[in-house]
Amino acid sequence: MGPMTALALLATACAGTTQDTADRSPTPSASTAPVSSAPRSAVPAPTPPAVPTPPPAAPESEAAAPAPATPAPETPPLPVPPQPIWSKCGSLKYSFVTVPLDYDDPGGETIAIKVSRARATDLDARRGVLLVNPGGPGASGLGLAGVLAASEPELARHFDIVGWDPRGVGESATLTCDEPLQAFYRLDNDPDDAAERELLESAAEAAAEACAATSLALLSNIGTTSVVDDMESIRLALGEDTIRYLGFSYGSMLELVYATRYGGHLRTAVIDGVSDPAHSLEAWLESQAVASHAAFTRFLDRCLECSPSASQALADAYTHAEAGTLQSGGQAVGPSDVARSAILANYSSIPDRIPQWLSSAGVGDGSGVLSRSDTYLGLAGFDVYTAVRCLDATHLESNAAYAEFVERVRAKAPLLGVPVAMELLPCASWPVPSKPLQPISDITAPPMLILGNTSDAATPYADAVAVISRLSNAVLITYQGAGHLSFGRGSACVDDATLAYLIDLDLPEPELRCS
Residue 53 in this model has a pLDDT that exceeds 60 = no
96/234 same-domain check: yes
pTM for this prediction: 0.87
Last residue of a domain, one of 373, 399, 429: 429
Last residue of a domain, one of 394, 429, 464: 429
CA angle 387, 389, 390 (to 5 degrees): 65
End-to-end alpha carbon distance in the chain: 23
197/80 same-domain check: no
Torsion angle (degrees, nearest 10) of CA 387, 393, 397, 398: -80
Residue-range definition of the domain harbouring residue 121: 3-10+36-47+63-175+218-278+439-514
141/227 same-domain check: yes
User: What is the distance of C-alpha 84 from the center of its chain?
Assistant: 24
73/164 same-domain check: yes
Cα radius of gyration (the chain): 23
- Please tell me the total count of domains within the chain: 2
Which of 96, 49, 100 minimizes the C-alpha distance to 79? 100
Residue 89 lies in a domain: yes
Q: Which of the residue ranges 33-42, 50-59, 116-125, 460-469 would you say has the lowest mean pLDDT?
A: 33-42
pLDDT of residue 64: 42
As a whole number of angstroms, the distance between CA 140 and CA 225 comes to 18
pLDDT of residue 349: 72
312/394 same-domain check: yes
As a whole number of angstroms, the distance between CA 83 and CA 501 comes to 29
286/341 same-domain check: yes
CB 42 within 8 A of CB 171: yes
Residues 463, 466, 471, 476, CA torsion sign = positive
100/188 same-domain check: no
Q: Concatenated DSSP letters for 24-58?
A: EPPPPPTTSPPPP-S-BSSPPPPPPPP-PPPPPPP
CATH number, residue 139: 3.40.50.1820
Torsion angle (degrees, nearest 10) of CA 201, 206, 211, 217: 90
223/187 same-domain check: no
Would you mind telling me the total number of residues written for the chain in this entry?
515
pLDDT of residue 298: 85
Residue 54 lies in a domain: no
Residue 55 lies in a domain: no
Q: Which of the residue ranges 32-36, 295-299, 409-413 would you say has the lowest mean pLDDT?
A: 32-36
As a whole number of angstroms, the distance between CA 208 and CA 433 comes to 12
Task: Look at residue 474 and give its three-state secondary structure.
Answer: strand
255/322 same-domain check: no
What is the mean predicted confidence (pLDDT) over 482-501?
Answer: 96
Residue 434 lies in a domain: no
pLDDT of residue 369: 96
Residue 350 in this model has a pLDDT that exceeds 90 = no
Q: Which of the residue ranges 138-152, 303-317, 437-451 would you say has the lowest mean pLDDT?
A: 303-317
Q: Name the more confident of 73 and 370.
A: 370
Residue 15 lies in a domain: no
Which of 515, 32, 495, 476 minimizes the C-alpha distance to 235? 32
As a whole number of angstroms, the distance between CA 383 and CA 381 comes to 5
Residues whose CB is less than 8 angstroms from the CB of residue 99 and which lie 6 or more positions away in sequence, other chains included: 81, 110, 111, 112, 113, 167, 229, 230, 233
pLDDT of residue 351: 62
Last residue of a domain, one of 383, 402, 429: 429
Residue 74 confidence class, pLDDT cut points 50, 70, 90: low
224/367 same-domain check: no
SS3 of the chain: helix, strand, coil, percent, to 5 = 40, 15, 45
Residue 242 lies in a domain: yes
As a whole number of angstroms, the distance between CA 420 and CA 413 comes to 10
Residue 397 lies in a domain: yes
157/110 same-domain check: yes
Residue 17 lies in a domain: no
226/329 same-domain check: no
Q: What is the pLDDT of residues 279-318, one digit of tens each?
A: 999 999 999 999 999 998 888 887 766 666 788 889 999 9
